[in-house]
Structure 1
Amino acid sequence: MELETEMETETETIPRKRKGTPNSALETEPDLEIKEPKAKKARLSSILFAENDVITPKQLCELLKYAVLGKSTPEPSWCQLLHQNHLNNVVVFILKGMSQLHFYRFYLEFRFLRKTFRHKFSLPPPTSRFLFNIVGLQRKKLVRGFPRTIKGSPNCENFILTKCDGFITDNSPLFGLNCEMCLTSKGRELTRISLVAERGHCIMDELVKPDFKILDSFTSFSGITEKILNPVPTKLKDVQTLLRQLLPPDAVLVGHFLDSDLRVLKMIHPYVIDTSLLYIRKQHRRFKLRFLAKVILGKDIQCPDKLGHDTIEDARTSLELVRYFLKYGPKKIAELNLEALASREELKAASQETEKKGGPTKPPNMSVLECLDSMGQKLLFLTRDIDELSSSRNCLTIKCSSNKEVLEEAKVEVPLFPFSIVQFSFEPFSPIFADEVKQSMKTKWTEMSTVYAGPFVKNCNIGPLKKMFKSMGPVQSVTLVLETFRPYFCVQYEVLEAAQLAIETMNGILVEGSYIKVRRPVTEFTLECDTLVHELEQDCENQGTIYVTGFGKAFKEHLLEHSSLFPSLEAMILPKDVKSRQQKNYCFLKFKSRDSAQVALEILKGKDWKLKGRHALTPMHLQTWLKDIHPEPAMPSGLQLVPPLLEKHVFQIAEENHPRIVAWRCNRKIEKLYHCLSPGTLCLILMPGTNNTFGLHPGLGLMKIKEEEESDPPGLGV
């Protein structure tokens, strides 16, 4: 007996009306307090706009790229991410070895996930290129042959030491250093050097002629051309000699990206302060000198209308930044929130570039890893299974020995990275256990959606009674039970909400002279049914959704006519029969909040529309999943076959590796990490599914953006 007939759903988003304020209101209420508009925040659309809820890795990649680059890349085709520029971080949790089957079999154990994540979608069974298709992480290629010789870095035998061999103190003098360079046939060579004393006066400013042929003068940065350098007599050796004479024994050199300046000078100095490291960004990235000058010192340098940078000005700026740091300390720097300001500037620059070009600046075939690289950002990857992945220069991969270590490392590292992947690894279900789960889930849902009602009088009128049961919702079958002294009805409903509504509204009522009871069959699958129903009602996907039954074909138009009664109505989900294409006489209405849904429910039941309803119990994704699992036909009573491995599952209930315990612990790990994330973090949970000797099972995705007002971690509960 099937649980429900196949159906299609039609989702309609309810249009919004803008509320205007009449002029008369302003005239009669001059002291009316005008509320400031709420700050924009990144958010996902309340409904995933996808005809098919199976989301491919390519579609996931679309969303993640848009989260990183914003409008400089095409918007995802299957959902909406609003106000992307207010997104702070992206975290992807991968539960390797888990599938939809795990989630719905151990639904009660995944309490945090189902109560927190409103958006659910199916994933196809994974391939070996799962991580590559989503973010661009590649698997290692096995290459046979001899290992290659790795050459070391160039030695520094041609570098010379300054004469600074004294001890430094708090009174040691600071000198700002800045260099410009060009590209020659032998690499980068010096073209200009400026040295500025601590009080700001320049003590050295020289143009330098390279020893080899110039290939690129870098004029846009330096302002220097090959023509300007032609008459210059000064060479690198002259500059080295002059520096050794000018710098006192306890001199401290100050600069921005000072290592590149000293390399091009071919000099070694023991005491340096590099402002690009003093004001370091997350993931070891560095702020531009121009940005630090503007935000910290309030001065504009390296203006785009000037040809090239002024090395004297840049050297002075580095000195001023060091003095500011020494005066106010790191606490003051932290209060400036430089990371957020820099990200805002980068997004603004990317948006302006997009407007100039009239479209996305990044090709759509770029991977997430390449997109991050184009933004100067690194990806963090925490996993137990690192051996199968090749390294990447813009991916920091941390190998852990256990899922517990993954959790501990993630608590520390994830808040520091704009994009992180945290992968936990679990053993997939054995084939026998997976088949058992599929069959028991279908049977469980069938029995939960079935009620027994009675007793009725022996000569009861069956027609009106059937009509009464059908008023609760779509009925699969109605069977008259004659094995009892007085007749009972066995009613199997198409949706769980109808069965629950029948129990809540008809149990204990007087029908044709008899007080009847309406209850579910008592079996191993329904023993904890009340607990499961309560938890389903609290599912985040069900929050703000109500089930309504008993209307006619014109209900949609009727509801739209009275839309002013339901200002927070977001969407109407109308199931249709696949074969007849007829709209069914029930629907789901989605509202902005649970409170709005409760108010609407009271209004609908109070109207003379002969409607019945309650809060939704069956998440739409669960309904789809139930239709996709097909158990084997039930064995006749007394002839049940029990595979040998099933006994093992019964006796392992208290063991550490039992799937129920694993699911509970997995839920706790993600809960702990989630509460470490900052507001404005896009969080994806991916159960990739399995495609191996343990069977082929589709995966499940959950998605949410963490908000500022979310409460502290809730207490434990199973």
Structure 2
Amino acid sequence: MAKGVCVNGCKRPRGGGEDGEEPRGARKKRRLGDGGVCPHGPKPKEKSSRLSAALFGEDCEISHDQMYELLKYAALGKCHNATQPSWCHIYHQSHLAGVVVIVLHEMSQLHFYKFYLQFKHLRKVFRHRFTLPPSSANFLANLYGEGANLNPQNTAQGSTSTSSRCIPNSSNLQWDPIIQKYGEEKQGLTSYTLTLEELKKNDYPMKGSPGCEDYMHTECDQQRTDSSPLFGLDCEMCLTAKGNEVTHVSLVDAQGQCLLNELVKPESRIVNYRTRFSGITRKILLPVKTKLADIQTRLKKMLPRDAVLVGHSLNADLQALQMIHPSVIDTSLLFARNEGRRFKLKFLAKAVLGFLDCLQMTGQKPLLLGRQELDSSGLCQSNLSTSNKQILQRALKDVPLSTFSIIQFSLDPEYVAPHLLAGICEKVKVKLTDMLTIYAGPFDESFCLKSVKKEFGRCGPIRSLTVVTETYQPYVCIQYEMLEAAQLAVENLNGAEVAGCCIKVQRPVTGTMLDCDVLIKELELDIENEGVIYVAGLKKSLTETDLQEEFSQLKDLEALFLPRDLQSGKHRNCCFLKFQKSESAVDALGVINGWAMRGSRLRSRKALAPGHLWRWIWQMDHHNGKQRGDSLCEKKEQQSDLEQELRKKLKKLDQHIWKLYRSLQNNTLCVVLFPGVNSMHGSQSGLGLMGIKDDGERSAC
């Protein structure tokens, strides 16, 4: 096969590299066209990003710092000193199409499990789930990292006022390229604008220059001063039959406010969308009607007569826009090395800027949507005029144009009122208590309670055991610590002979238990419980090492979690086993049931409660005192109506998130956060769900 020709006989175009150096592999892929293959031949499957997290048992609680660690690495990769998170691993981070964080303000783990059946999509889509500590007032700021610069500043002003940030080691400031060129004293804005000679030397479009005869002039010809308005300009281009043409234009002011964010339909036939670099696809451009002439007119109207444009290699942007502007600051030249070679934009972002600034300057255009916005101090302010539906509509339009987005949904104040939260909390506690409780009987008058406790104890740790004597014959009320234990007892001991009597085993018959069977079934189908089984009947003398050795013969065993009493630290007579494949977990169930381990007969079933839920149940029982009955009764009717409305709103919210999730590109990391509540009225832990979108995975439809 001739060199430079693909299997379809097409010549491979010789593509020039972008400003700055590129790895050989990147140049090779660019020569081949969009995605690194000939545009006329079949494309190989894009390498998928993958998320691995051992969020099992004791490791299911994640701090805000750890959350920031994940988002920073996902958004920046190895840039900006970002490293792999300590608590999970992102494989092929460079292939991530974007990062989307969905924040459900004022909501906690309590909301998720109280309205579990309403969150149909959330619990079936996201494979990884973890607990968050109760949220503080600055939860949104914590997502960017404590002390992060939340209000992006313009590049020129930021670099002149804090030159020491350009080089991490302040003892080497004398080698800072800015200080070497401009000195240590703060300079005015006009000191950094390119001179006429520099504009010519760096191929900026100018009046009278060859090829610029038909270019539009911005007519910003008023004298510049150090207080002239500064605007950041950035364009994305695709390759057409005519050359580079604009597909996306963004303009921000000095405060970081977005003034223009528009897709543009090229005039000529598109040869290469350059999706990997621009995020633009055929699907995104298909409905676009805006033309280059429309953008030129809008930019000309928006820019004041003394405007200064700032950007990285702005000559390419202005050439693609076919516009002439006399006053620019070019960061690729501002930070150029002595020998004239330019730093890549990602390197500059790492050396000079903070997290959000870094995203902006690397062209990732962070997007923040919701009722809460950041003011100049970095604090959140509420804008209650925006509904969740409007936020969704904006997100569906703007998220595809951003590689890092935070979408915030909120509930109206009446749905997060303390008295309503207290009532919901109490109802959840009652329902959990009922689900953990079974009644067994009838027994003979002289039955042996010790033998009953021993038999039912084989299903899991018992919290309490009480003899019911109000009935004609004695019954026993048994309350377990694990949902799986109660379910095992119902399934295995109903109709069995215990203490010499053939007994019936059932849960309490109450209003809260009418949907118990539905809930149990849905918990079994929860994606979080795939490949996880519960094993009971273990001797308490067995250590974790003993169990690892005993269960090592099971195929594809990935992890073992031995629940412990969170006060005494002692382990219970049960454990959870996590397998790499669901089929292996099913096979293990057949092996373990009836297996005698060191004289003790084991019982097992599919898991119902993830590790974080087991801890939450324990905390609910031990840390949340009873609510005052009088205050609850006073507003009982009002709460019932509000709760029904809340149920509908959360179901709608689940549908909003699912609609947004479906619109994301493959290989997008999506994180959904219930921040939790931490106030004088009580604390509730938060909840996080995350996953990388892959259309090949099980659909939640």
TM (normalized to structure 1)?
0.63
1:412 pairs, out of 397, 418, 437, with 397
1:392-439 Cα offsets, whole Å, 9 max, x none, are 9xxxx9997321111112122212211111111213522222222222
- Equivalent residue runs for 1:315-330 within 5 Å: 329-330=269-270
1:427-468 Cα offsets, whole Å, 9 max, x none, are 352222222222222222122111111112333333322211
1:115-163 Cα offsets, whole Å, 9 max, x none, are 22232333334344332232357489xxxxxxxxxxxxxxxxxxxxxxx
Which shifted more, 688-697 or 606-615?
688-697
| Contact 2:452–2:499 under 8 Å retained in 1 | no
Residues of 2 paired with 1:378 and 1:510: CA distance? Answer: 67
2:375 pairs, out of 375, 385, 389, with 389
Q: Cα RMSD between the aligned structures?
A: 4.4
Specify the alignment match of 1:575 in structure 2: 563
1:424 pairs, out of 392, 403, 409, with 409
Aligned in 2, Cα 1:424/1:580: closer, same or farther, shift over 3 Å?
closer
Q: Does 2:127 align with 1:118?
A: yes
Aligned in 2, Cα 1:641/1:563: closer, same or farther, shift over 3 Å?
closer
1:543 pairs, out of 530, 544, 549, with 530
Aligned in 2, Cα 1:682/1:275: closer, same or farther, shift over 3 Å?
closer
Which shifted more, 525-534 or 603-612?
603-612
Q: Does 2:34 align with 1:68?
A: no
Specify the alignment match of 2:572 in structure 1: 584
1:644 pairs, out of 605, 609, 634, with 634
1:24-69 Cα offsets, whole Å, 9 max, x none, are xxxxxxxxxxxxx997532222413896654343332211110112
Aligned in 2, Cα 1:502/1:55: closer, same or farther, shift over 3 Å?
same
| Contact 1:54–1:121 under 8 Å retained in 2 | yes
Specify the alignment match of 2:278 in structure 1: 339
Residues of 1 paired with 2:217 and 2:596: CA distance? Answer: 80
Mind listing any 5+ residue stretches in structure 1 that lack a counterpart?
1-36, 141-181, 194-207, 209-217, 223-235, 267-273, 286-324, 343-355
| Contact 1:439–1:631 under 8 Å retained in 2 | no
| Contact 1:283–1:417 under 8 Å retained in 2 | no
Residues of 1 paired with 2:150 and 2:192: CA distance? Answer: 34
- Equivalent residue runs for 1:494-513 within 5 Å: 494-511=481-498
Residues of 2 paired with 1:375 and 1:690: CA distance? Answer: 35
Instruction: Specify the structure having the higher radius of gyration (Cα).
Output: 1
| Contact 2:461–2:480 under 8 Å retained in 1 | yes
Mind listing any 5+ residue stretches in structure 2 that lack a counterpart?
1-43, 153-181, 183-188, 225-234, 239-243, 252-265, 282-342
| Contact 2:455–2:498 under 8 Å retained in 1 | no
Residues of 2 paired with 1:45 and 1:275: CA distance? Answer: 33
Q: 1:281 deviation in Å?
A: 5.8
Specify the alignment match of 1:624 in structure 2: 615
Residues of 1 paired with 2:627 and 2:140: CA distance? Answer: 39
1:524 pairs, out of 497, 507, 511, with 511
| Contact 1:61–1:368 under 8 Å retained in 2 | no
Q: Does 2:582 align with 1:594?
A: yes
Specify the alignment match of 1:492 in structure 2: 479
Q: 1:547 deviation in Å?
A: 0.4
Q: 1:583 deviation in Å?
A: 3.0
Aligned in 2, Cα 1:570/1:455: closer, same or farther, shift over 3 Å?
same
Q: Secondary structure at the match of 2:131?
A: strand
| Contact 1:450–1:520 under 8 Å retained in 2 | yes
| Contact 1:95–1:424 under 8 Å retained in 2 | yes
Aligned in 2, Cα 1:573/1:367: closer, same or farther, shift over 3 Å?
farther
Letter matched to residue 619 of structure 2: D
- Equivalent residue runs for 1:71-470 within 5 Å: 71-72=78-79, 73-135=82-144, 136=148, 138=150, 187-191=193-197, 243=208, 252=214, 278-280=244-246, 284=250, 329-330=269-270, 332-334=271-273, 339=278, 367-386=354-373, 389-390=375-376, 401-426=386-411, 427=413, 428-470=415-457
Q: 1:340 deviation in Å?
A: 6.5
Q: 1:674 deviation in Å?
A: 0.8
Q: 1:559 deviation in Å?
A: 5.1
Aligned residues: 517
| Contact 2:61–2:612 under 8 Å retained in 1 | no
Aligned in 2, Cα 1:469/1:362: closer, same or farther, shift over 3 Å?
farther
Aligned in 2, Cα 1:138/1:468: closer, same or farther, shift over 3 Å?
same
Q: Secondary structure at the match of 1:372?
A: helix
Residues of 2 paired with 1:668 and 1:443: CA distance? Answer: 28
Specify the alignment match of 2:29 in structure 1: none
Which shifted more, 685-694 or 112-121?
685-694
Q: Secondary structure at the match of 1:504?
A: helix
Specify the alignment match of 2:171 in structure 1: none
Specify the alignment match of 1:226 in structure 2: none
1:705 pairs, out of 666, 681, 692, with 692
Specify the alignment match of 2:177 in structure 1: none
Residues of 2 paired with 1:111 and 1:479: CA distance? Answer: 37
Matched residues, percent identical? 39
Letter matched to residue 245 of structure 2: Y
Q: Secondary structure at the match of 2:512?
A: coil
Q: Does 2:613 align with 1:604?
A: no
| Contact 2:104–2:673 under 8 Å retained in 1 | yes
Residues of 2 paired with 1:126 and 1:461: CA distance? Answer: 49
Q: Secondary structure at the match of 2:666?
A: coil
Letter matched to residue 44 of structure 1: L
Q: Secondary structure at the match of 2:62?
A: coil
Residues of 2 paired with 1:698 and 1:497: CA distance? Answer: 23
Q: 1:341 deviation in Å?
A: 11
TM (normalized to structure 2)?
0.64
Q: 1:508 deviation in Å?
A: 1.6
Q: Secondary structure at the match of 1:479?
A: strand
Aligned in 2, Cα 1:612/1:495: closer, same or farther, shift over 3 Å?
same
Residues of 2 paired with 1:674 and 1:403: CA distance? Answer: 15
Q: 1:554 deviation in Å?
A: 4.1
Residues of 2 paired with 1:526 and 1:275: CA distance? Answer: 57
| Contact 1:49–1:79 under 8 Å retained in 2 | no
